Structure 1
Amino acid sequence: MSELSPTKPFSRREWLMSDRPQSRMQARLGRAYLVWSRFASNRLAVVGLAIIIALLLVAAFANVLAPHSPVAGDLRNARLLPPGGEYWLGTDDQGRDILSRLIYGSRLTLYVVILVAIIAAPIGLLVGTIAGYAGGWVDSILMRITDIFLAFPKLILALAFVAALGPGIENAVIAIAITSWPPYARIARAETLTVRNSDYIAAVQLMGASPTRIVLRHIMPLCLSSLIVRVTLDMAGIILTAAGLGFLGLGAQPPLPEWGAMIASGRRFIMDQWWVAAMPGFAILTVSLGFNLLGDGLRDALDPRGSNQ
């Protein structure tokens, strides 16, 4: 009689990459592991993720990290001091520590980015999926409205809305969100047109699902990966738009340490005291680069045509 060989235990990776998952949880974990493997193989994407994680940590622990007050300064003894010593990044024309203002300004940056994403992305997803699934005159009306918003430059349209609503960080968020949803609607509509005639949707229709349930429960989840990538890539543009509004005095109002407003206040000293405007500009550059690298990595990792290796 031949001896039976002992069963070789599966490694964790083999369990995650199994072609025959035994449960939905195993299938979801396997998919997440595959996406992370693709993402981690892109070094620039990991750098972008590290920048965003650092931004989150700086914003969360701003009270601990900031060495000075972000709004109060020593106008008599610390006005326009160069970087070094007690003030690592120098001071501004009000004697305020630029490093502390940058640290606290990261909270405003995340506040704007997160709120715009929460408002604009669901609106674009809803408009796009309804237009793509309904078709006909519904599609024509919704897409023509979308085209009207896309016809105007985003910053100009945001300026118009802020002028109507009044200056302030909340109104700036609303204005940016109103101008940011059309690209998401376009992406969601394109994804919906791809899947609405698929066998999967036809089977759901045969089971008696209503159009509302089909859109909300079956089509929207299929559009999320493309939408997440586009939202991540748009974060840099949102930051620049918010900084532009702050630069023009229509965003966060003094003495809030908003990076665009800091550049505006430092432009008068750009020739002699360059650090006043250069430091917030470098912060905007770094965070925007981080979001772009992260978005590129997510696009490659979530690409269904990517390698399964």
Structure 2
Amino acid sequence: MTVPASQPAPMSRREWLLSDRPQSRVQARLGRAYVTWRQFSANKLAVLGLIIIVALLFVAAFADLLATHSPVVGDLKNARLLPPGTGEYLLGTDDQGRDILSRLIYGSRLTLFVVVLVAVISAPIGLIVGTVSGYAGGWVDAVLMRITDIFLAFPKLVLALAFVAALGPGIENAIIAIAITSWPPYARIARAETLTVRRSDYISAVKLMGASPVRIIIRHVMPLCLSSLIVRVTLDMAGIILTAAGLGFLGLGAQPPLPEWGAMIASGRRFILDQWWVAAMPGIAILIVSLGFNLLGDGLRDALDPKESGQ
């Protein structure tokens, strides 16, 4: 009588994700994503930063439901400069009788609007300039890097002020100005990554297969630069928020009555000694969101950097 061979125990989901011999590209990608998430979630401060950013997204998405008052129209006769906790005004009111909490909630939309558009504009520009410069070399590299050095020679806020002064005040022009001043660091990072991989055996094999330089840059070099670029963009988002708030504080960003946090601080500076909450509340909001982006960026850097994570 023959004894049937024992069947191997089925793999658990965790073992399937952590398998060192993936059976498909999907399994390999999910495995890398799972390992990255484990390393990220092990950093408690990074998780705190993620919670702050998710809360910001939630507040911005449901601002119409969360805000209890209009962000632009206030009760100037009966609710001017009320302190926090007065009646239905949890964070008090400003000099126009507008609910500060409602203005902060709607202002989160403007903050995300600025951050997302600046990242969408500046990151691709920096990625293209850096990869082309690093892969082409020669006079192309020299010209592109000298242009990058010119932009890096000026402080970001000063250069943004110059562009906004030329373009005119407004949230759209502020976004363009910040994006123009934000791409050089991304170009530097992409160039450094490209220089490390352009002479690798992997790129040489792609060349032997007849791939053009454009295809090599787009399909094989740029994806290798994305992880470092994502980390840098996340870390720079706090600086983008501060620059946008600085332009708003100087009257060159979002214009009244838009509830932009920097403009709210500017309007409340006249009452900083007696009615401190008018300027302090948007300042605290900027602090919390900037801290969230910094913590998130630090966690992504540790999780995505092979040297740090040991992958």
TM-score (structure 1 length as normaliser)? 0.99
Give the deviation of 1:3 after TM superposition: 6.2
- Partner residue of 1:295? 297
Q: Residue 281 of structure 2 aligns with which residue?
A: 279
**Per-residue deviation, 1:57:** 0.3
- 1:30 matched to 2:60? The reply is no
1:115 to 2:117 alignment: yes
Q: Which moved more, 1:125-134 or 1:5-14?
A: 5-14
Distance 1:76 1:35 in 2: 55
Match of 2:140 in 1: 138
Q: Note the C-alpha offset of 1:5.
A: 3.2
**CA-to-aligned-CA distance 1:71-105 (integer Å, 9 cap, x gap):** 00000100000001210000000000000000000
Shift of 1:286: 0.2
Rounded to whole Å, the distance in 2 between the matches of 1:171 and 1:6 is: 66
Following TM superposition, by how much is the alpha carbon of 1:303 offset from its aligned partner in structure 2, in angstroms?
1.2
Map 1:1-309 → 2, pairs under 5 A: 4-84=5-85, 85-307=87-309
Q: For residues 151 and 310 of structure 2, what CA distance do their matches in structure 1 show?
A: 39
1-structure distance, mates of 2:71, 2:151: 37
Structure 2 contact 303–309 (Cα < 8 Å) conserved: no
CA contact (8 A) 1:34 1:308 kept: no
Question: The residue matched to 2:268 in structure 1 has which SS?
Answer: helix
Alignment partners' CA distance in 1, 2:93 and 2:196: 55
Residues of 2 paired with 1:23 and 1:305: CA distance? 26
Q: Give the deviation of 1:219 after TM superposition.
A: 0.1
Segments of structure 1 that go 5 or more residues without pairing to the other structure are none
In structure 2, distance between residues paired with 1:278 and 1:111: 22
Secondary structure, aligned partner of 1:305: helix
CA contact (8 A) 1:264 1:277 kept: yes
SS of residue paired to 2:23: coil
Count how many residue pairs are aligned between Structure 1 and Structure 2: 309
Percent of aligned positions that are identical? 83
Cα deviation code 1:269-299 (max 9, x no counterpart): 0000000000000000000000000000000
Any gaps of 5 or more consecutive residues in structure 2? Answer: none
SS in structure 1 of the partner of residue 307 of structure 2: coil
Counterpart CA distance in 1 for 2:67 and 2:3 is 72
